[in-house]
Chain A
Amino acid sequence: MLKEGQVRIPSGCAISGIFSRKGSAISGERIIRSIAVMHDRSNGLGGGFAGYGIYPDYPDFYALHVFYDSQTAKQECERYLERYFDIINLSKIPTRKSAAIVDEPLIWRYFVAPLPHRLSDSQLDEREFVARRVIRVNSSIEGAYIFSSGKNMGVFKAVGYPEDVGAFYRLEDYAGYCWTAHGRYPTNTPGWWGGAHPFALLDYSVVHNGEISSYDANRRAIEMHGYRCTLQTDTEVITYIIDYLVRRQGLTMEEAARVMAAPFWDTIARMPQQEREEATYLRNAFASFLITGPFSILVGFEGGLMALNDRLKLRSMVVGEKGDLVYVASEEAAIRVIEPELDSIRAPKGGEAVLITLDAQKGGAQ
């Protein structure tokens, strides 16, 4: 059977997220309890989490989480990393053995900073430099896969039900201001850990529920800009689109949302003039990045979280608030289980971006 990346595997899913606007530390245990409620929305073939603010001891270093199929792959990847980065800490990611999680690869974590002379020789900004190295490892070193590469954030994922994956990675030992979680229901059996969500590049992480019908149009468009969609998953292409639009093009997260889940032309026609011109411009200038078909996504980034549904809202997603905490999940039950008494709960409209940022940080993604 073909592995993930050799064949495109559609999947349905559950997603959940928690965000503290004040930046308070939330234990990983809470997000596990939330996603566990939606057990039946996944089928044991993939689960994962992203936590932000979880590495306060190394906030200025890129935290690379890597899967290795073999010692050879590890050696080759480490040789590569050493050529480009100063590795200031490396260790296995602590795990807890369980019968529910099997066939684990070697799972390593590196805190790194680009070597200054390599960075200046590259004539790239630091984030582009790191992104290119990550894409290079993932597309050319057989058996090595960097699945997390941001600062002060980390992705934890595996083949299994999400609650078992959370326990496996001992997420109760981590605390951060933002968590996202994902339970996967692929329509095939890939059995590869890299295929689980979240999918991440630099500090952008995406969890996604849906199956986008625009996939190949989006893939072929983004690959023009140096990305390689090695996994053939929706989440991967969405992450690259966000990285391209926000980091490389300089759009805000809201503007990126208006590209990906663009308002209908009818809606645009009813907008006030300036808004209409801007919406028309964004749809037209970045037409190939319109995403169609059902999706609900949570996009984590440094200091913020964005929730977005497709234009027709073909996937459920609700947003609840309690004090400074914001909860987003595929089902209300997944929020109520950890916060029974909410101040408010609502279902955002299709294409309406819900952007949550730290109070300390204005403007979000810039």
Chain B
Amino acid sequence: MAVRFLYPEFEVVRNQDRCVACRACERQCANEVHRYDPELGCMVADESKCVNCHRCVSLCPTRALKIVKTDHAFRENGNWTGKAITEVYRQAETGGVLLSSMGNPEPYPIYWDKLLINASQVTNPSIDPLREPMETRTFLGKKPGGIQRDAQGRLINNQTPQLELSVPVMFSAMSYGSISYNAHASLARAAQALGTYYNTGEGGLHEDFYQYGPNTIVQVASGRFGVHKDFLEAGAAIEIKMGQGAKPGIGGHLPGQKVGPDISRTRMIPEGSDAISPAPHHDIYSIEDLRQLVFSLKEATEYKKPVIVKIAAVHNVAAIASGVARSGADIIAIDGYRGGTGAAPTRIRDSVGIPIELALAAVDQRLRDEGIRDQVSVVIGGSVRSSADLVKAIALGADAVYIATAALLALGCHLCRTCQTGRCNWGIATQRPDLVRRLNPDLGCQRLVNLVTAWDHELKEMMGGMGINSIEALRGNRLMLRGIGLNQKELDILGVKYAGE
């Protein structure tokens, strides 16, 4: 039926002068775009299946391939864009919810790009991190609020358990299931090598990864998949996932076809069954219930581990964070609307939640206004793309950041945003053994270590430029930021002055 026809989004451009018909592209493409046509004696492509993941392009030995956006177009319309029209066609065809992956790609303002960082000139020397100590070690957890001394007058260590990070960057939650075994192995090993933490997400912890426990944050989410005593005790901290930036207000859905033997065992669910995380935790319908779960988990682990509560950045985030801070949580993680996901309803991903920059500024200020900022650490994610975003986040008030999309990019992700299909050609968001094998955990780990090490270098350079030689002196130091292209309301919420002020 003609009305069903959707013109392919991309075109596969093959330079036949270069193509040697080695068929590497065919072998690499899990979407089955390429095939050899014996009659024509050359490679041909079905571009309707192409997701623009660049796997074939990257592995073509003669650089004969490129993928371009099609210039086929609907009649121009500022309101009814090609995307809007196509989505209507798709829903009219299927009657289903549109699904997407990774973070909100819509052109909303990116506040990181409207903030500028300060540097010292004349009145205060900048510090050269190659010559002087430059400290990025970060502790996450409650501050004690008051000191205690023993009979000899010595200070008693009355701190509650803390997470110690050698660099204020952690890998945020991605479940085993949504990403592959090798992706998890890469993250776990990189976290250990970097002196930071990765996060199990809601998928339990594979038995092979218990050895990385001291660098692992174990997650308890609404489906409670894979949660048991050993799991809780394996991690350095426990994260209660209340929400996710990509899909605030809804739960999760891992399709049954991804639940193979290994995932079935790790998640403690039958093979082939859909893993559905409910939208709310059904034992948390209010803040007092959250407090009970926080303390249940603390009881279960003998008060030896900090508890993180992760929430999505929604409109009332400051008040919610204040409630969380008073609930006994040691760390609040806030996930912005650009945060990634393995699968989310498109409308929710693209329309629900608020930018992390504004959420962070509002939460940090609110906690200070209430005098409780020291009772919790604040970790933000969704999305931090570079060390500059990191510096700005810390200056706005974050203790540390969570990265996930950037980490996946380091592993080879090309942001084709089709994780939900499970056919990730880069071996990341897939459970197909032949595809998973493509991600070498040795290389993956090394690339993650490289990325965070590079950011750490840049962070230190920028700190030194500001005359700051320890990260805690940058935290919440909003005078080190100036806004550009922002209106007064935005400046007020961010708590920064305009450039030139």
State whether these chains interact.
yes
B468 adjacent to A264 (CB under 8 Å): no
Contact B135 A264 (CB under 8 A): yes
Tell me which of A11, A266, A281 has the highest count of chain B C-beta atoms within 10 A of its own C-beta: A281
Asked if B144 and A285 sit within 8 Å, CB to CB, the answer is yes
Q: Are A215 and B143 in contact (CB under 8 A)?
A: no
Q: Mark A183-221, 1 if CB is under 8 A from B, else 0.
A: 000010000000000000000000000110111111011
| Nearest CB in chain A to that of B475: its residue | A217
Q: Scoring A residues 307 to 330 as 1 if CB is less than 8 Å from chain B, else 0, what string do you get?
A: 000011010000000000000000
The interface stretch among B255-263, B314-322, B367-375, B410-418 is B367-375
| Interface 9-mer from A26-34, A74-82, A288-296 | A288-296
Least CB separation from A311: chain B residue: B469
Q: Judge whether B479 is part of the interface by a CB distance below 8 angstroms.
A: yes
In angstroms, Cα B479 to Cα A265, docked, is 26
B136 to chain A, nearest CB (A): 10
Cβ B475 vs Cβ A294 within 8 A: no
Which residues of A have CB within 8 Å of B477? 213-217, 220
**Contact, CB under 8 Å: A293 / B147:** no
Q: Does A8 contact B (CB under 8 A)?
A: yes
Of A278, A291, A293, which one neighbours B154 at CB under 8 angstroms?
A: A278
Binary A-proximity of B466-480 (CB < 8 A = 1, otherwise 0): 111110111111111
A210 to B124 Cα, complex, angstroms: 8
Contact A225 B371 (CB under 8 A): yes
Docked CA distance A163–B337 (Å): 60
Min Cβ gap A101→B in Å is: 26
Interface contact A213-B159, CB-CB below 8 Å: no
- Complex contacts, A216 vs chain B, CB 8 Å: 476-480
Are A288 and B469 in contact, CB atoms less than 8 angstroms apart? Answer: no
CA distance A292 to B135 in the complex (A): 11
Q: A11: which B residues are within 8 A, CB to CB?
A: 123
Q: B132, B159, B467, B472: which contacts A293 (Cβ < 8 A)?
A: B467
Give residues of chain B (140-196) contacting chain A, Cβ–Cβ below 8 Å: 143-144, 146-147, 149, 154-155, 157, 159, 162
The proximity string for A residues 135-146 relative to B, scoring 1 for CB distances below 8 Å and 0 otherwise, is 000000000000
Q: Which residues from B are CB-within-8-Å of A347?
A: none
Residue of B nearest to A216 (CB): B479
Q: Are A224 and B373 in contact (CB under 8 A)?
A: yes
Do B469 and A249 have beta carbons less than 8 Å apart?
A: no
Q: Which chain B residue has the least Cβ–Cβ distance from A282?
A: B155
- A292 near B155 (CB under 8 angstroms)? no
A10-B124 in contact (CB<8A): yes
Counting contact residues on chain A (CB < 8 A from B), the size range is: 35 or more
* Known A284-B162, A285-B147, A292-B468; contact A220-B132, beta-carbon cutoff 8 A: no
Chain B nearest CB from A302 CB (Å) reads 20
A86 contacts across to B, CB distance below 8 A = none
Q: How far is the CA of A255 from the CA of B468 in the complex (A)?
A: 22
Please pick, from B133, B159, B476, the residue contacting A281 in the complex, using a CB distance under 8 A: B159
Q: Which residues from chain B contact A214 at a C-beta distance below 8 Å?
A: 468, 473-474, 477
Please tell me if the beta carbons of B133 and A293 are within 8 angstroms of each other in the complex.
no
Q: Which residues of A contact B155 (CB under 8 A)?
A: 255, 278, 281-282
Most chain A CB within a 10 A radius of its CB, from B144, B371, B466, B467: B467
**Is A56's CB within 8 Å of the partner chain B?**
no
Instruction: Decide yes or no: A288 and B472 within 8 Å by CB, A10-B123, A211-B124, A293-B467 being known contacts.
Output: yes
Closest to B481 in A: A216
**CB distance A213 to B120 under 8 Å?**
yes
Task: Tell whether, in the assembled complex, residue B124 and residue A294 are in contact, meaning their CB atoms are under 8 Å apart.
Answer: yes
Question: B469 contacts A312, CB within 8 Å?
Answer: yes
Flag if A213 contacts B124 (CB, 8 Å): yes
Does residue A337 face the partner (Cβ distance < 8 Å to B)? Answer: no
CA distance in complex: A266, B470 (Å): 12
Which of the listed residues A210, A250, A255, A290 has the most CB atoms from chain B within 10 Å of its own CB? A290
Is B347 in the interface zone, CB < 8 Å from A? Answer: no
Contact A287 B127 (CB under 8 A): no
B159 & A217 in contact (Cβ 8 Å cutoff): no
Contacts of A288 in B (CB 8 A): 374, 472, 475-476
A249 contact set on B, CB distance < 8 A: 146-147
Assess whether B10 is interfacial by the CB under 8 Å rule. no
Given A216-B480, A225-B371, A294-B124: A287 in contact with B143 (beta carbons within 8 A): yes
Chain B residues in 8 Å Cβ range of A12: 123
Contact with A along B299-310 (1 / 0, CB 8 A): 000000000000
Please report B residues at the A interface, Cβ cutoff 8 Å: 120, 123-125, 127, 132-133, 135, 137, 139, 143-144, 146-147, 149, 154-155, 157, 159, 162, 368, 371, 373-374, 466-470, 472-480
4 more CB-based (< 8 A) A-B contacts, given A10-B123, A213-B466:
A217-B473, A225-B371, A262-B470, A292-B470
**Leading 5 A-B pairs by shortest Cβ distance:** A214-B473, A213-B467, A216-B479, A217-B477, A292-B473
